[in-house]
A and B are shown apart, each in its own frame.
Chain A
Amino acid sequence: MNLLGAAIDATINWHSVMFYVTSLIACGFALVVLLTNNIVRMAFALIVSLSAISGLLFLAGAYFVGTMQLMIYVGGTVVLLIFGVMLTAQKAFITMRTSAGDWLLGLLVGGTFLAVLVQLAFSIPQWESSSYQAKSDQELTAYVAELEQEIQSGKTLSQDQRQKLVQLEVEATQGEPQRTGEIGLALVGLRPDKDPQQSEGLSGYLLPFEIVSVHLLVVLVGAAYLARARRQQG
Protein backbone atom coordinates (compact mmCIF):
# COMPACT_ATOMS: atom_id res chain seq x y z
CA MET A 1 0.00 0.00 0.00
CA ASN A 2 2.78 2.35 0.95
CA LEU A 3 4.75 1.41 -2.14
CA LEU A 4 1.78 2.12 -4.36
CA GLY A 5 1.32 5.49 -2.70
CA ALA A 6 4.98 6.33 -3.27
CA ALA A 7 4.71 5.26 -6.90
CA ILE A 8 1.70 7.51 -7.44
CA ASP A 9 3.38 10.34 -5.58
CA ALA A 10 6.46 10.29 -7.80
CA THR A 11 4.80 10.00 -11.20
CA ILE A 12 6.74 11.08 -14.21
CA ASN A 13 5.69 14.51 -15.43
CA TRP A 14 4.87 13.75 -19.06
CA HIS A 15 4.69 17.41 -19.96
CA SER A 16 8.33 17.75 -18.94
CA VAL A 17 9.31 14.57 -20.78
CA MET A 18 7.65 15.77 -23.96
CA PHE A 19 9.31 19.14 -23.56
CA TYR A 20 12.78 17.59 -23.22
CA VAL A 21 12.25 15.27 -26.20
CA THR A 22 10.91 17.98 -28.54
CA SER A 23 13.47 20.56 -27.49
CA LEU A 24 16.22 17.99 -28.00
CA ILE A 25 14.95 17.36 -31.55
CA ALA A 26 14.62 21.09 -32.24
CA CYS A 27 18.10 21.95 -30.91
CA GLY A 28 19.73 18.88 -32.46
CA PHE A 29 18.44 19.55 -35.94
CA ALA A 30 19.23 23.25 -35.58
CA LEU A 31 22.81 22.12 -34.89
CA VAL A 32 22.66 19.95 -38.03
CA VAL A 33 21.59 23.05 -39.98
CA LEU A 34 24.62 24.82 -38.61
CA LEU A 35 27.21 22.09 -38.99
CA THR A 36 26.46 20.46 -42.33
CA ASN A 37 27.91 21.97 -45.47
CA ASN A 38 25.39 20.40 -47.80
CA ILE A 39 22.61 22.92 -48.53
CA VAL A 40 20.04 20.19 -49.28
CA ARG A 41 20.66 18.52 -45.93
CA MET A 42 20.38 21.93 -44.26
CA ALA A 43 16.91 22.44 -45.75
CA PHE A 44 15.75 19.04 -44.52
CA ALA A 45 17.13 19.59 -41.02
CA LEU A 46 15.42 22.99 -40.94
CA ILE A 47 12.05 21.36 -41.65
CA VAL A 48 12.47 18.92 -38.76
CA SER A 49 13.68 21.65 -36.42
CA LEU A 50 10.78 23.98 -37.22
CA SER A 51 8.26 21.16 -36.81
CA ALA A 52 9.71 20.36 -33.40
CA ILE A 53 9.47 24.05 -32.49
CA SER A 54 5.79 23.99 -33.37
CA GLY A 55 5.52 21.05 -30.97
CA LEU A 56 7.12 23.24 -28.30
CA LEU A 57 4.54 25.95 -28.99
CA PHE A 58 1.79 23.38 -28.47
CA LEU A 59 3.41 22.39 -25.17
CA ALA A 60 3.30 26.04 -24.06
CA GLY A 61 -0.45 26.09 -24.70
CA ALA A 62 -0.25 28.27 -27.83
CA TYR A 63 -2.28 25.96 -30.02
CA PHE A 64 -3.16 28.50 -32.69
CA VAL A 65 0.40 29.82 -33.00
CA GLY A 66 1.71 26.25 -33.20
CA THR A 67 -0.71 25.43 -35.99
CA MET A 68 0.24 28.60 -37.85
CA GLN A 69 3.89 27.71 -37.41
CA LEU A 70 3.24 24.37 -39.08
CA MET A 71 1.14 25.85 -41.87
CA ILE A 72 3.03 29.03 -42.71
CA TYR A 73 6.61 28.15 -41.77
CA VAL A 74 6.87 24.46 -42.49
CA GLY A 75 4.28 24.43 -45.24
CA GLY A 76 5.13 27.73 -46.90
CA THR A 77 8.41 29.39 -46.05
CA VAL A 78 10.54 26.27 -46.01
CA VAL A 79 8.99 25.01 -49.25
CA LEU A 80 9.97 28.38 -50.74
CA LEU A 81 13.51 27.93 -49.42
CA ILE A 82 13.68 24.42 -50.86
CA PHE A 83 12.59 25.74 -54.24
CA GLY A 84 15.39 28.28 -53.96
CA VAL A 85 17.82 25.49 -53.16
CA MET A 86 16.63 23.44 -56.11
CA LEU A 87 16.83 26.37 -58.53
CA THR A 88 20.40 27.22 -57.51
CA ALA A 89 21.69 23.73 -56.73
CA GLN A 90 24.66 23.73 -59.08
CA LYS A 91 27.47 21.38 -58.15
CA ALA A 92 29.72 24.12 -56.83
CA PHE A 93 27.07 25.59 -54.54
CA ILE A 94 25.68 22.45 -52.90
CA THR A 95 28.62 22.23 -50.53
CA MET A 96 30.42 25.44 -49.72
CA ARG A 97 33.10 25.29 -47.09
CA THR A 98 33.64 27.99 -44.53
CA SER A 99 37.14 29.05 -43.58
CA ALA A 100 38.38 28.05 -40.14
CA GLY A 101 38.77 31.69 -39.09
CA ASP A 102 35.08 32.37 -39.68
CA TRP A 103 34.16 29.30 -37.65
CA LEU A 104 36.42 30.33 -34.80
CA LEU A 105 35.07 33.86 -34.66
CA GLY A 106 31.45 32.76 -34.99
CA LEU A 107 31.73 30.08 -32.33
CA LEU A 108 33.55 32.43 -29.98
CA VAL A 109 30.95 35.18 -30.24
CA GLY A 110 28.05 32.71 -30.29
CA GLY A 111 29.33 30.70 -27.34
CA THR A 112 29.80 33.81 -25.24
CA PHE A 113 26.34 35.01 -26.17
CA LEU A 114 24.78 31.63 -25.37
CA ALA A 115 26.47 31.48 -21.99
CA VAL A 116 25.18 34.96 -21.10
CA LEU A 117 21.64 34.24 -22.31
CA VAL A 118 21.28 30.89 -20.56
CA GLN A 119 22.64 32.30 -17.34
CA LEU A 120 20.15 35.14 -17.67
CA ALA A 121 17.28 32.72 -18.26
CA PHE A 122 18.10 30.77 -15.10
CA SER A 123 18.93 33.80 -12.98
CA ILE A 124 15.35 34.49 -11.87
CA PRO A 125 14.10 31.90 -9.36
CA GLN A 126 10.40 32.37 -10.19
CA TRP A 127 11.03 31.27 -13.76
CA GLU A 128 12.70 27.98 -12.92
CA SER A 129 9.65 25.90 -12.16
CA SER A 130 5.95 26.02 -12.85
CA SER A 131 3.31 25.80 -10.15
CA TYR A 132 0.40 25.69 -12.60
CA GLN A 133 -0.43 22.00 -12.19
CA ALA A 134 -0.15 22.00 -8.41
CA LYS A 135 -2.25 25.14 -8.13
CA SER A 136 -5.05 23.95 -10.41
CA ASP A 137 -5.11 20.55 -8.68
CA GLN A 138 -5.40 22.31 -5.34
CA GLU A 139 -8.24 24.52 -6.58
CA LEU A 140 -10.10 21.52 -7.92
CA THR A 141 -9.83 19.47 -4.73
CA ALA A 142 -10.78 22.47 -2.60
CA TYR A 143 -13.89 23.11 -4.69
CA VAL A 144 -14.85 19.42 -4.67
CA ALA A 145 -14.56 19.39 -0.87
CA GLU A 146 -16.73 22.50 -0.66
CA LEU A 147 -19.40 20.96 -2.89
CA GLU A 148 -19.37 17.71 -0.93
CA GLN A 149 -20.03 19.64 2.25
CA GLU A 150 -22.97 21.38 0.60
CA ILE A 151 -24.41 18.09 -0.60
CA GLN A 152 -24.09 16.55 2.86
CA SER A 153 -25.96 19.49 4.34
CA GLY A 154 -28.83 18.69 2.01
CA LYS A 155 -28.45 21.23 -0.82
CA THR A 156 -28.52 20.32 -4.50
CA LEU A 157 -25.92 21.61 -6.94
CA SER A 158 -26.88 24.56 -9.10
CA GLN A 159 -26.05 24.86 -12.78
CA ASP A 160 -23.36 27.46 -12.10
CA GLN A 161 -21.62 25.22 -9.60
CA ARG A 162 -21.59 22.32 -12.06
CA GLN A 163 -20.16 24.55 -14.75
CA LYS A 164 -17.41 25.83 -12.46
CA LEU A 165 -16.55 22.26 -11.47
CA VAL A 166 -16.24 21.23 -15.13
CA GLN A 167 -14.10 24.28 -15.87
CA LEU A 168 -11.76 23.58 -12.96
CA GLU A 169 -11.52 19.95 -14.05
CA VAL A 170 -10.63 20.97 -17.60
CA GLU A 171 -8.01 23.41 -16.30
CA ALA A 172 -6.43 20.73 -14.12
CA THR A 173 -6.38 17.98 -16.75
CA GLN A 174 -6.11 19.72 -20.12
CA GLY A 175 -4.62 23.10 -19.29
CA GLU A 176 -5.64 26.50 -20.54
CA PRO A 177 -8.49 26.61 -23.08
CA GLN A 178 -7.89 27.33 -26.75
CA ARG A 179 -7.75 30.98 -27.70
CA THR A 180 -8.44 30.84 -31.43
CA GLY A 181 -11.62 32.86 -31.22
CA GLU A 182 -9.99 35.47 -29.00
CA ILE A 183 -7.11 35.83 -31.42
CA GLY A 184 -9.52 36.33 -34.31
CA LEU A 185 -11.41 39.01 -32.38
CA ALA A 186 -8.18 40.73 -31.34
CA LEU A 187 -7.15 40.96 -34.99
CA VAL A 188 -10.29 42.98 -35.74
CA GLY A 189 -9.72 45.23 -32.74
CA LEU A 190 -11.70 43.64 -29.92
CA ARG A 191 -10.24 42.21 -26.73
CA PRO A 192 -12.67 39.78 -25.10
CA ASP A 193 -10.01 38.59 -22.67
CA LYS A 194 -9.65 42.04 -21.09
CA ASP A 195 -11.98 44.03 -18.92
CA PRO A 196 -13.21 46.93 -21.11
CA GLN A 197 -13.20 49.23 -18.07
CA GLN A 198 -9.54 48.47 -17.38
CA SER A 199 -8.02 48.78 -20.83
CA GLU A 200 -7.63 52.32 -22.04
CA GLY A 201 -7.42 53.40 -25.63
CA LEU A 202 -6.69 51.00 -28.44
CA SER A 203 -6.16 47.49 -27.14
CA GLY A 204 -6.85 45.42 -30.26
CA TYR A 205 -4.57 44.68 -33.16
CA LEU A 206 -6.56 45.99 -36.12
CA LEU A 207 -3.94 48.49 -37.30
CA PRO A 208 -0.95 46.10 -37.11
CA PHE A 209 -3.10 43.52 -38.88
CA GLU A 210 -3.82 45.96 -41.71
CA ILE A 211 -0.17 46.97 -41.93
CA VAL A 212 0.92 43.33 -42.11
CA SER A 213 -1.69 42.60 -44.77
CA VAL A 214 -0.61 45.49 -47.00
CA HIS A 215 3.03 44.66 -46.31
CA LEU A 216 2.47 41.07 -47.41
CA LEU A 217 0.79 42.25 -50.61
CA VAL A 218 3.61 44.69 -51.40
CA VAL A 219 6.20 42.04 -50.63
CA LEU A 220 4.58 39.50 -52.93
CA VAL A 221 4.35 42.03 -55.77
CA GLY A 222 7.97 42.98 -55.14
CA ALA A 223 9.10 39.37 -55.09
CA ALA A 224 7.28 38.64 -58.33
CA TYR A 225 8.87 41.74 -59.89
CA LEU A 226 12.36 40.81 -58.74
CA ALA A 227 12.15 37.17 -59.74
CA ARG A 228 10.52 37.66 -63.15
CA ALA A 229 12.23 36.28 -66.21
CA ARG A 230 14.47 38.89 -67.82
CA ARG A 231 13.31 40.01 -71.26
CA GLN A 232 15.99 39.65 -73.89
CA GLN A 233 17.57 43.01 -74.69
CA GLY A 234 17.51 44.33 -78.26
Chain B
Amino acid sequence: MQFLYEPIGLSHFLAVGAFLFVVGIICMATKRNALGILMGIELVLNGAILNFVGFASPYFREDNLGLDGHLIALFVIVLAAAEAAVALAIALNFYNNHATIDVDKAQELKG
Protein backbone atom coordinates (compact mmCIF):
# COMPACT_ATOMS: atom_id res chain seq x y z
CA MET B 1 0.00 0.00 0.00
CA GLN B 2 3.01 2.26 -0.42
CA PHE B 3 1.37 4.16 -3.27
CA LEU B 4 -1.22 5.65 -0.89
CA TYR B 5 1.52 7.53 0.94
CA GLU B 6 3.13 9.07 -2.11
CA PRO B 7 1.80 12.06 -4.03
CA ILE B 8 0.48 11.22 -7.48
CA GLY B 9 2.16 12.67 -10.51
CA LEU B 10 1.21 13.75 -13.98
CA SER B 11 1.76 10.18 -15.26
CA HIS B 12 -1.20 8.86 -13.28
CA PHE B 13 -3.42 11.55 -14.70
CA LEU B 14 -2.27 10.86 -18.24
CA ALA B 15 -2.82 7.13 -17.72
CA VAL B 16 -6.45 7.71 -16.69
CA GLY B 17 -6.89 10.01 -19.69
CA ALA B 18 -5.38 7.38 -22.00
CA PHE B 19 -7.67 4.70 -20.58
CA LEU B 20 -10.79 6.80 -21.14
CA PHE B 21 -9.60 7.65 -24.64
CA VAL B 22 -9.04 4.01 -25.59
CA VAL B 23 -12.36 2.89 -24.06
CA GLY B 24 -14.08 5.61 -26.08
CA ILE B 25 -12.32 4.52 -29.27
CA ILE B 26 -13.34 0.87 -28.76
CA CYS B 27 -16.87 2.04 -27.94
CA MET B 28 -16.99 3.95 -31.23
CA ALA B 29 -15.66 0.96 -33.13
CA THR B 30 -17.92 -1.73 -31.71
CA LYS B 31 -21.31 -0.15 -30.97
CA ARG B 32 -23.97 -0.50 -33.62
CA ASN B 33 -26.34 1.97 -31.98
CA ALA B 34 -25.69 5.53 -33.22
CA LEU B 35 -26.19 6.91 -29.70
CA GLY B 36 -23.65 4.42 -28.36
CA ILE B 37 -21.12 5.85 -30.81
CA LEU B 38 -21.94 9.35 -29.52
CA MET B 39 -21.24 8.17 -25.98
CA GLY B 40 -17.88 6.83 -27.15
CA ILE B 41 -17.05 10.26 -28.57
CA GLU B 42 -17.91 11.85 -25.24
CA LEU B 43 -15.48 9.52 -23.49
CA VAL B 44 -12.70 10.34 -25.97
CA LEU B 45 -13.21 14.08 -25.49
CA ASN B 46 -13.16 13.62 -21.72
CA GLY B 47 -9.83 11.84 -21.95
CA ALA B 48 -8.51 14.84 -23.88
CA ILE B 49 -9.88 17.30 -21.30
CA LEU B 50 -8.23 15.32 -18.54
CA ASN B 51 -4.87 15.52 -20.33
CA PHE B 52 -5.13 19.27 -20.87
CA VAL B 53 -6.06 19.91 -17.26
CA GLY B 54 -3.33 17.59 -16.04
CA PHE B 55 -0.73 19.50 -18.03
CA ALA B 56 -2.18 22.77 -16.75
CA SER B 57 -2.11 21.75 -13.09
CA PRO B 58 0.47 23.49 -10.89
CA TYR B 59 0.44 20.45 -8.58
CA PHE B 60 2.27 18.33 -11.10
CA ARG B 61 4.69 20.55 -12.95
CA GLU B 62 6.49 23.78 -12.32
CA ASP B 63 6.22 25.06 -15.91
CA ASN B 64 2.60 24.13 -16.54
CA LEU B 65 0.22 25.28 -19.24
CA GLY B 66 -1.66 27.31 -16.65
CA LEU B 67 -4.68 29.21 -17.80
CA ASP B 68 -4.28 28.08 -21.42
CA GLY B 69 -4.93 24.45 -20.52
CA HIS B 70 -8.05 25.35 -18.59
CA LEU B 71 -9.39 27.48 -21.43
CA ILE B 72 -8.74 24.81 -24.05
CA ALA B 73 -10.55 22.31 -21.84
CA LEU B 74 -13.49 24.71 -21.60
CA PHE B 75 -13.59 25.12 -25.38
CA VAL B 76 -13.52 21.35 -25.79
CA ILE B 77 -16.48 21.01 -23.41
CA VAL B 78 -18.50 23.62 -25.32
CA LEU B 79 -17.67 22.10 -28.70
CA ALA B 80 -18.60 18.65 -27.39
CA ALA B 81 -22.00 20.00 -26.36
CA ALA B 82 -22.52 21.49 -29.82
CA GLU B 83 -21.38 18.29 -31.52
CA ALA B 84 -23.73 16.20 -29.40
CA ALA B 85 -26.67 18.45 -30.27
CA VAL B 86 -26.08 18.19 -34.02
CA ALA B 87 -25.25 14.48 -34.02
CA LEU B 88 -28.37 13.78 -31.98
CA ALA B 89 -30.49 15.79 -34.41
CA ILE B 90 -29.05 13.81 -37.30
CA ALA B 91 -29.62 10.51 -35.48
CA LEU B 92 -33.23 11.44 -34.73
CA ASN B 93 -33.78 12.50 -38.34
CA PHE B 94 -32.34 9.20 -39.55
CA TYR B 95 -34.58 7.37 -37.10
CA ASN B 96 -37.66 9.26 -38.34
CA ASN B 97 -36.91 8.51 -41.97
CA HIS B 98 -35.71 4.92 -41.72
CA ALA B 99 -37.18 3.68 -38.42
CA THR B 100 -33.79 2.38 -37.28
CA ILE B 101 -30.68 3.74 -35.54
CA ASP B 102 -28.46 0.83 -36.50
CA VAL B 103 -25.44 2.45 -38.14
CA ASP B 104 -24.87 -0.71 -40.21
CA LYS B 105 -28.19 -0.02 -41.93
CA ALA B 106 -27.23 3.53 -42.90
CA GLN B 107 -26.21 2.71 -46.45
CA GLU B 108 -28.11 5.20 -48.53
CA LEU B 109 -25.05 7.22 -49.50
CA LYS B 110 -23.05 4.08 -50.22
CA GLY B 111 -22.06 3.91 -53.88
What residues make up the interface of A, taking CB atoms closer than 8 Å to B?
A: 10-13, 15-17, 19-20, 23, 26-27, 30-31, 33-34, 39, 42-43, 46, 49-50, 53, 56-57, 60-62, 64-65, 68-69, 72-73, 76-78, 80-81, 83-85, 87-88, 92-93, 96-98, 102-103, 105-107, 109-111, 113-114, 117-118, 120-122, 124, 126-134, 175-176, 179, 182-183, 186-187, 191, 193, 205, 208, 212, 215-216, 219-220, 222-227, 230
Contact = CB atoms under 8 A, between A and B. Distances in A.
A109 B15 contact: no
Given A49-B20, A57-B73, A212-B78, 20 more contacts: A12-B4, A13-B5, A15-B8, A20-B3, A50-B42, A53-B50, A60-B13, A60-B53, A60-B56, A77-B42, A77-B80, A80-B88, A85-B35, A93-B101, A113-B22, A114-B22, A130-B8, A175-B59, A219-B83, A226-B93
A43 B9 contact: no
A216 B78 contact: yes
A118 to B, nearest CB: 5
A111 to B, nearest CB: 8
A111 B90 CA distance: 31
Contact residues of A: prevailing secondary structure: helix
B90 A226 contact: yes
Contacts of B29: 102, 105-106, 109-110
B106 interface: no
B12 interface: yes
B60 A124 contact: no
A77 to B, nearest CB: 5
B18 A117 contact: yes
Contacts of A56: 13, 16, 50
Contact of B101 (A60, A88, A176): A88
A214 to B, nearest CB: 11
22 contacts: A16-B8, A31-B23, A33-B40, A56-B13, A56-B50, A60-B56, A60-B57, A60-B59, A64-B74, A65-B49, A98-B32, A109-B29, A113-B25, A118-B18, A127-B9, A130-B8, A130-B10, A186-B67, A215-B82, A223-B88, A223-B89, A226-B93
Nearest to B21: A117
A212 B98 CA distance: 33
B53 to A, nearest CB: 5
A78 B35 CA distance: 11
Interface in B66-106: 66-67, 69-71, 73-75, 77-86, 88-93, 95-96, 100-102
A88 B95 CA distance: 7
Nearest to A84: B88
